[in-house]
């Protein structure tokens, strides 16, 4: 089975602490690494947690606040120093190239690495990346500046061949791929064995949804419904709901309520305000509404 996991590289909000770096996550699908956000120190966290950063070809930036992007110059520079070639795709607000221009101009290491920017749509949900295993979409959130969430949807995998049927019908190697794709088996005498006699159902495709920084948005429920894992910011405890509204962030209760309504399997909360030295009370609050809640900590890896 494909490995599909999410590793937290940074779980703080705007002000990092000595234990929580600013926002960044790695979504791993087998050997492919997708980076979400790139706060300061992302390249250091990638090394610390054993990721080969050269495997990152696609970076998704939720919005242009510094705690989500200040790691980009260092990461790009190091990728170039490591000799990475080809294209590095960055999906972000169309202002990002202008923000990066000064830093990029003086980055004399960049030679064989081409940075390609892809502007996000902040008005409606859109598929921004797709290959044979995964589809990645962006969808609008609501923050002080334009902000997107991201949905990583594994595509349905091939059916599994039933070992017994394989032997019983002596299915030729040449036909096996067709059958895995749903074809029936035609025997030499012309008789047809329907596909469901020959195959076992594939594992249901998995989904990861990432939402930060935002006020809680009921509009996203249909998009993230049933997700195996939802990461949602919970910058503040429930008693600071006024501050959450004012700063366009979410509280523990709001995140848990959203997870519950969207019937996701698991909720990870993060982007904690630096005022919380210990985030256990925040998780406990959320669990009163949605028991399968966990706190994001730098280095945590969630297997889907």
Which positions lie near a copy of itself, rule CB under 8 A?
14-18, 21-22, 40-41, 43-44, 47-48, 64, 66-67, 70-71, 73-74, 77-78, 81-82, 95, 98-103, 105-107, 109
- Of 17 and 153, the one with the shorter C-beta distance to a copy of itself is 17
For residue 178, the minimal CB distance to a copy of itself (Å) is 48
d(CA 254, CA 233): 10
- Of 70 and 169, the one with the shorter C-beta distance to a copy of itself is 70
Catalytic-residue membership of 189: no
Sign for the pseudo-dihedral over CA of 131, 77, 27, 38 = negative
- Of 102 and 119, the one with the shorter C-beta distance to a copy of itself is 102
Task: Take residue 204 and report the two structure tokens written for it.
Answer: 């249901």
For residue 49, the minimal CB distance to a copy of itself (Å) is 8
- Of 59 and 256, the one with the shorter C-beta distance to a copy of itself is 59
Q: What count of residues does the chain have? A: 304
Instruction: Say which of 67, 213, 228, 298 is annotated catalytic.
Output: 67
Cα→Cα distances 168→165, 187, 190, Å: 5, 12, 17
Helix (H) or strand (E) holding 5: strand 4-10
The three-class DSSP label of residue 301 is strand
Cα→Cα distances 101→63, 78, 208, Å: 17, 17, 32
Task: Take residue 156 and report the two structure tokens written for it.
Answer: 């349905």
For residue 121, the minimal CB distance to a copy of itself (Å) is 20
For residue 96, the minimal CB distance to a copy of itself (Å) is 9
Residues classed as catalytic:
67
């Amino acid at each position: 089975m494909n490995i599909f996991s999410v590793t937290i590289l940074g779980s703080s909000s705007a002000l990092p602490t000595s234990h929580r770096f600013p926002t960044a996550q790695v979504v791993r699908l087998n050997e492919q690494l997708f980076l979400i956000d790139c706060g300061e120190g992302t390249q250091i966290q990638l090394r610390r947690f054993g990721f080969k950063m050269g495997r990152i070809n696609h970076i998704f930036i939720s919005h242009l606040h510094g705690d989500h992007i200040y790691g980009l110059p260092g990461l790009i520079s190091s990728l170039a120093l490591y000799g990475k070639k080809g294209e590095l795709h960055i999906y972000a607000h169309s202002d990002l190239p202008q923000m990066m221009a000064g830093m990029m101009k003086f980055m004399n290491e960049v030679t064989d690495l081409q940075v390609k920017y892809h502007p996000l749509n902040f008005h409606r949900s859109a598929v921004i990346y797709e290959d044979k295993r995964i589809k990645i979409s962006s969808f609008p959130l609501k923050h002080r500046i334009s902000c997107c969430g991201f949905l990583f949807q594994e595509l349905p995998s091939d059916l599994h061949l039933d070992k017994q049927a394989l032997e019983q019908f002596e299915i030729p190697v040449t036909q096996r791929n067709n059958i895995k794709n749903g074809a029936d088996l035609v025997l030499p005498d012309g008789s047809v064995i329907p596909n469901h006699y020959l195959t076992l159902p594939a594992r249901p495709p998995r989904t990861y949804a990432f939402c930060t920084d935002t006020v809680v948005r009921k509009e996203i429920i249909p998009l993230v419904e049933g997700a195996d894992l939802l990461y949602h910011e919970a910058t503040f405890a429930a008693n600071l709901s006024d501050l959450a509204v004012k700063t366009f962030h979410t509280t523990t209760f709001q995140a848990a309520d959203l997870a519950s309504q969207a019937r996701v399997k698991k909720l990870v909360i993060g982007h904690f305000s630096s005022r919380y030295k210990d985030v256990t009370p925040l998780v406990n609050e959320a669990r009163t509404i949605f028991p399968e809640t966990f706190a994001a900590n730098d280095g945590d890896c969630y297997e889907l």
